[in-house]
């Protein structure tokens, strides 16, 4: 539980910095609250988190940016997911997206950084399958992972029907895919790394691939954007295949030290340059919250 205390302090600092009276069911703070009649008269609002925690804030004391965040809809979050990486003050000197921002670089404010830290550092539940691993069973696992920590799949758990292979040289089994659904570009299912290179390139540059000029996209000139990528020539493909095969022959798998199939989670937080999006992308490339962000939080 010690790892939770910094998070609790961070949460408290966020809300205290907004001069908001707050109470959470997990015991973060429990100040006295006005009567329900007084709350209705003064404009108090209540937010309920996914874990049942409650935040009660005086609406007129809320930072407009925080209020828009608390009111942000789940549907907008799910349907509006997209990497938007051209920030205010950025420059791309050449190429199909050659552009220079007309804005000065605007780092995240202290409050924004605290909100990001609080979101990423949130506690998560136990992975109850871990207690069935050989080193824990029959005891409850004493591993309480957080969203900021790392997790490894125990050898006994074969998730989603993926194929796993084991080797004494590896600390854990290596997943290589689900036949006919999602297969890694490596043996198995391919016989060697050379035979895996061509399907990989075809998936990138062939019909329907992300770098095929005929593939539709959300840019104003998608054909120009997709055709700007350099197609791998035969010499390059042979070089990749040779190096990849050497890795496989040495370590018994590809890649050498990470699973053949794995998910990488990362977070990027910045102030989006919407003018860049307006120039290169079709309408709808960013959300209303992006358009209103600077006025709501930095005006």
The DSSP secondary-structure symbol of 298 reads H
Q: What is the pLDDT of residue 8?
A: 44
Pairing of strands 174-178, 54-58: unpaired
Q: What is the pLDDT of residue 19?
A: 37
pLDDT band, residue 55 (cuts 50/70/90): low
pLDDT (average), residues 159-175: 86
DSSP-assigned letters across all residues of 182-224: EE-SSTTTSSSHHHHHHHHHHHHHSTTSTT-TTS--SBTTHHH
Each residue of 77-128: pLDDT tens digit? Answer: 777 777 778 899 999 988 889 999 999 999 988 888 887 777 766 545 545 5
Number of folded domains in the chain?
1
DSSP SS3 for 164: strand
Contacts 24+ apart (CB under 8 A), 33-39: none
DSSP-assigned letters across all residues of 41-70: HHTEEEEE-TTS-EEEEEGGGS-HHHHHHH
Q: What is the pLDDT of the chain when averaged over all its residues?
A: 74
In a domain, 191, yes or no: yes
pLDDT band, residue 24 (cuts 50/70/90): very low
Pairing of strands 163-165, 54-58: unpaired
Rounded (10°) CA dihedral 193, 197, 198, 201 = 170
d(CA 2, CA 29): 17
d(CA 246, CA 241): 9
pLDDT band, residue 164 (cuts 50/70/90): confident
DSSP SS3 for 92: strand
Q: State the DSSP H helix or E strand holding residue 91, giving kind and residue range, or none if neither.
A: strand 91-92
pLDDT (average), residues 246-267: 88
* pTM of the predicted model as reported, rounded to 2 decimal places: 0.63
In a domain, 176, yes or no: yes
In a domain, 178, yes or no: yes
Nearest to 286 by CA among 270, 298, 297, 299: 270
Each residue of 146-163: pLDDT tens digit? Answer: 333 333 444 544 556 888
In a domain, 170, yes or no: yes
The DSSP secondary-structure symbol of 160 reads G
Q: What is the pLDDT of residue 140?
A: 53
In a domain, 228, yes or no: yes
In a domain, 193, yes or no: yes
In a domain, 21, yes or no: no
Q: What is the pLDDT of residue 113?
A: 84
How many DSSP H helices and E strands does the chain contain? 10, 7
Q: What is the pLDDT of residue 39?
A: 44
Domain that holds residue 207: 163-260
Q: What is the pLDDT of residue 85?
A: 82
Which of 130-134, 167-171, 249-253 is predicted most confidently?
249-253
d(CA 149, CA 204): 33
């Amino acid at each position: 539980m010690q790892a939770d205390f910094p998070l609790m302090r961070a949460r408290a600092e966020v809300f205290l910095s907004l001069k908001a009276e707050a109470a959470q069911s997990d015991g973060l703070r429990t100040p006295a609250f006005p009567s329900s009649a007084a709350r209705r008269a003064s404009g108090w609002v209540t937010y309920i988190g996914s874990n049942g925690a409650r935040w009660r804030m005086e609406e007129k004391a809320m930072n407009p940016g925080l209020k828009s965040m608390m009111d942000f809809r789940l549907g907008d979050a799910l349907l509006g997911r997209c990497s938007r990486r051209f920030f205010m003050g950025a420059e791309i000197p050449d190429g199909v997206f050659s552009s220079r921002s007309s804005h000065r670089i605007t780092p995240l404010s202290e409050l924004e950084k605290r909100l990001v830290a609080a979101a990423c550092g949130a506690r998560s539940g136990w992975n109850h399958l871990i207690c069935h691993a050989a080193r824990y069973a029959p005891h409850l696992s004493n591993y309480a992972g957080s969203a900021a920590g790392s997790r490894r799949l125990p050898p006994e758990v074969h998730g989603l029907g993926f194929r796993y292979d084991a080797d004494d040289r590896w600390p854990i089994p290596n997943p290589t895919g689900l036949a006919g659904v999602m297969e890694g570009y490596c043996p198995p299912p391919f016989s060697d790394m050379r035979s895996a290179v061509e399907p990989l390139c075809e998936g990138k540059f062939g019909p329907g691939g992300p770098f095929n000029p005929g593939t539709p996209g959300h840019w104003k000139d998608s054909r120009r954007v997709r055709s700007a990528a350099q197609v791998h020539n035969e010499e390059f493909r042979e070089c990749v295949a040779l190096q990849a095969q050497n890795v496989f022959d040495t370590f018994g798998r590809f890649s050498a030290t990470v699973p053949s199939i794995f998910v990488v989670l990362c977070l990027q937080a910045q102030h989006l340059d919407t003018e860049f999006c307006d120039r290169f992308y079709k309408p709808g490339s960013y959300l209303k919250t992006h358009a209103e962000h600077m006025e709501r939080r930095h005006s």
